[in-house]
Structures are given as structure tokens and as C-alpha cells.
Amino acid sequence: MNRNQVLPQVQLSAEPAALKKVDFCAPQPYKGAGFLSISDLPRVLEEASSVNPGDGFDWQIETHFEDSPGSEPRQILQLGLHGRLHVICQRCLQDCAINLDDQRRFVLVQTEAAADDYPIEDEDQEPLVISQHFNLLETMEDEVLLSLPLIPKHPEGFCEPHATIFGIEDEEEGSEERENPFNVLKNMKKNS
Ligand SMILES: [Zn+2]
């Protein structure tokens, strides 16, 4: 491909349905932006404790071709996700807003084999296997899910542990005195 060749940039539709089938095999750069509501992302909806006005994600996409020494120019995809959803706080068990501000960079590759060969130590960008019907919506949903904290909580000091969590802790302390497996193990070692 001639690097001086000016390729027309294709504007992506902001329609979630259209994002399910994007032809990334065409030698053209893409650009697009839009908003996804939580209900556009079924797997994210499953994680949400409630859906409030304003919840959802602004997204921006841009692809470009980058020279790669000794091989074809590489197609790079940059994805920005910015937004909010509500999940259950694991301290107080109430709704908790999680703000997301994510910038990711991908190298678009043609085959699974090329993705497998891609150096895993490259933390700046990940390979994505493209197709003529690439599901960009699914990629964005994956990114939202990957960005969620494992144990979502309000900021420190913002909330108090829920009463049932105290209850569980008390119960555990009580049973600890009776048969803490570590004490049992210690005793076994002592006796041997
Ligand atoms: Zn909380």
C-alpha cells in the first residue's frame, strides 16, 4: 500500500445495531463516536444493579494505518470509552456509581494465527482479529466488563458496612473459636 495514498475516512454509524457488522477488511480508516445506553449492552446490563438517567457510555473510535518496518502497514484501532454504570457496593450493599474512562489501542490482524503470534509482552496494544462483519459492539462491551473493578465499592469513608456483613463477620469469629482449621492444623503438627 502506498503510504502517500490518501484514503477516504469512513464515518461509522452511531447506531448500536450497525456496530455489530463493521467491514474492517476494507483498506480504509474509520472514525466514529456515539453513545451506548446500558440496555444496548446485555452482558453489562446483567452486572448493573440499577439503570439511572445518564448511565451509559460515550465512545470514540478511530483507526489508522501505521508504517511497520519490513511488513505491510499495520492498522491500529483506538477506542475511547467514557461513562458510568451502577453496581452493588460490596461494603454497604447499596447502589454505587462506577465511572469509567478507558483508552485502548488494538492492532487489527487478519487471522487467529497472527493474533496468537502477536507478542504477549506488548502491553500497549492487543491484537484483534478483524473480519468483514466485525462485531465492534461486542468489543466495546468486553472493554466495559474488563474495566469494572473486581470488588466494586464506594470510595473509602463514603459508606458503612451493611448490617448483614457485620452479622456474617460476628458469626465467623464465633465459629473461629470452636474450630479454626489453622488451629486444628497447628495442633496436629504439635502432636506429631
Ligand atoms: Zn457502599
Residue-range domain boundaries for the chain:
10-157, 162-192
Separation of alpha carbons 172 and 161, rounded Å: 16
Which helix (H) or strand (E) segment is 181 a member of? Answer: helix 181-191
Ordered DSSP codes for 31-75 = EEEEEE-GGG-HHHHHH-SB--TT-EEEEEEEEEEEEETTEEEEE
Q: What's residue 170's pLDDT?
A: 45
Cα(37) to centroid of ligand 1, in Å? 24
Please give the biggest Cα pair distance in the chain.
81
Grid cell, residue 93, equals 450493599
How far, in Å, from the CA of 161 to the mean position of ligand 1?
A: 7
pLDDT tens profile 25-61 = 888 999 999 999 999 999 999 999 999 999 999 999 9
pTM (2 decimals)? 0.79
Residue 169 CA to ligand 1 centre (angstroms) = 17
Sign of the Cα pseudo-torsion (138, 140, 144, 147, in order):
positive
Average pLDDT of the chain to the nearest whole number? 86
Please write the tens of the pLDDT for every residue from 108-131: 999 999 999 888 888 889 999 999
